[in-house]
Amino acid sequence: MVERATEMGVDLLWGAVVTGISETAVQVSGRTVRTKWIVGADGVNSRVRAWAKLQAHSHSRLRYAFRRHYRVRPWSSRMEIHWGKSSQAYTSPVNDAEVCIAVASRDPALRLDNALEEFPELNRRLQGAEISSTERGAVSANRKLKRVWRNNVALIGDASGTVDAITGEGLGLAFHQALILAECMKAGDLRPYQAAHRKLALRPSLMARLMLTLDRRPALQRRTLQVFRRHPQLFERLLALHVGELSPYDLARDGVTLGWGLLRA
């Protein structure tokens, strides 16, 4: 991406800090840069969002996530989600000799060492493995903004709202928003961006809500997995929905199957 941007003539000001915006300019590390458009891609605590008065938003209950890397040979090429009593553990193979472990819960005080006790199998795999990064935390939630643009300012990525980390969707969503925003800028009209942005967030928000109904409900987790075992095609279809290959409407029928299966399980 950096190579492509450079090829296209983009000036990358690494380490520069944006300290203010006006209608026609951005203040960057003491310099004034004249602008036609301003895109706030400055993350969940976006200052551009505040400067453009786009702050009003609603969010679901906050969740707290902590992550750390371990020097251990990955036991699977896939990412895994382990469901615990009060948290989920996410494992991601990073390379041939390192795995990232993240734990998310509603308890801001639940750190990795204590949380891992909820996952005996995972804990066993990590026994004796060297810890190769410091523990770092972040807040996760579904956040929705009333507006994602005003005048010549548009927000993108986490600055424009977030979906819970359980979806693994943050980056994908930002790239899809970028494609649409670029079209709007090319056409000289940011208005269509609002509706398109809302539409893009629908599927991941729905999946986040669906997955989080299992949070802290071990009995429901067990039943759901039983239903998936009995109807593997249902799991496949939910996965297809998650990656955008199916629309939520296609899934109405499967929702009925899942509900019925849960009642009988």
Residues that bind ligand FAD (CB under 6 A): 17-18, 41-44, 47, 65, 102, 138, 140, 157-159, 165, 168-172, 174
Nearest Cα neighbor of 103 from 166, 190, 9 is: 166
Pick between residue 43 and residue 248 the one whose CB is nearest to ligand FAD.
43
Instruction: Report the residue number whose CB is nearest to ligand FAD.
Output: 170
Could you give the CA distance from residue 106 to residue 108 in angstroms, rounded to a whole number? 6
Q: Which two tokens stand for residue 37?
A: 């458009």
Could you give the CA distance from residue 196 to residue 170 in angstroms, rounded to a whole number? 16
Pick between residue 25 and residue 41 the one whose CB is nearest to ligand FAD.
41
Pick between residue 66 and residue 227 the one whose CB is nearest to ligand FAD.
66
Minimum distance, C-beta of residue 104 to ligand FAD, in the bound complex (Å): 6
Check if the beta carbon of residue 132 is closer than 8 Å to that of residue 125. no
Nearest Cα neighbor of 265 from 232, 210, 224 is: 224
Minimum distance, C-beta of residue 258 to ligand FAD, in the bound complex (Å): 24
Check if the beta carbon of residue 77 is closer than 8 Å to that of residue 99. no
Pick between residue 21 and residue 184 the one whose CB is nearest to ligand FAD.
21
Minimum distance, C-beta of residue 252 to ligand FAD, in the bound complex (Å): 27
Minimum distance, C-beta of residue 72 to ligand FAD, in the bound complex (Å): 19
